[in-house]
Amino acid sequence: MARSFSLFLVLILFYQLPLIAQEAQFPIVDGFGGIYEIPGSTNPDPDIEYKIVIDLKTNQPDKEAVNAGLNNVARMMNLHGLGGVREGNLSVIVVVHGLATETILNDDGYRRKNGVDNPNISLIDVLEAAGAEVVVCGQSLLGRGFHQTEVNSEVEIALSMLTKVTELQHKGYHLLVFD
């Protein structure tokens, strides 16, 4: 019985080893949102035009770490790329509001609020270089006491998250909520 169990464990390790030994891949967003190939898994249809609006509202508790939801945007884009979707068929807009609002501040604004430089700036830069757009809710910005001059210059200021998301949904974007 023990021999059968040992053989069973060896087989499990043998089949799982390729998954464990893999290095993270970054097919669309360089350096963030690392993902792994899953042999035998189904992939997204590469011929579909993916139009996705992300509702990002949760902030990171560690002020020196990137926002997990924002990093998840990079993961989602990389997963589509690994699955064969071309960058031209992937349109992503991240609408930031609520507690996540400080994520899009420039270093001066973030430092005023948290005492450290904003760790999200490089992630926002590479997301935008990969074709994503980052937008902040103007109502959340003002409601949380931030000035427009404190917003990262790469980030668009919208009247509100509510108006931006509903506009994008009318343009065929599908809503995902990242906490």
Read off the pTM.
0.87
pLDDT score recorded for residue 55: 98
Per the CB < 8 A criterion, the answer to whether 126 and 74 are in contact is yes
CA–CA distance, 29 with 47 (Å, rounded to integer): 20
User: Which tokens belong to 112?
Assistant: 């005023």
User: Which tokens belong to 128?
Assistant: 């935008």
pLDDT score recorded for residue 179: 76
Alpha helices (runs of H) in 24-136, residue ranges in sequence order: 68-82, 107-114, 121-129
pLDDT score recorded for residue 84: 96
Domain boundaries, given as residue ranges, for the chain: 2-178
The domain defined by 2-178 carries CATH number 2.40.30.130: no
Backbone angles phi, psi at 5, to 5 degrees: -65, -40
pLDDT score recorded for residue 87: 84
pLDDT tens, residue by residue, 49-88 = 999 999 999 999 999 999 999 999 999 999 999 999 998 9
pLDDT score recorded for residue 178: 87
Q: Read off the amino acid at residue 148.
A: Q
User: Which tokens belong to 130?
Assistant: 């990969």
pLDDT score recorded for residue 14: 53
User: Which tokens belong to 136?
Assistant: 């902040």
> From first to last of its 179 residues, what are the pLDDT tens digits of the chain?
566 555 554 455 555 555 556 899 999 999 999 999 999 999 999 999 999 999 999 999 999 999 999 999 999 999 999 999 998 999 999 999 999 999 999 999 999 999 999 999 999 999 999 999 999 999 999 999 999 999 999 999 999 999 999 999 999 999 999 87
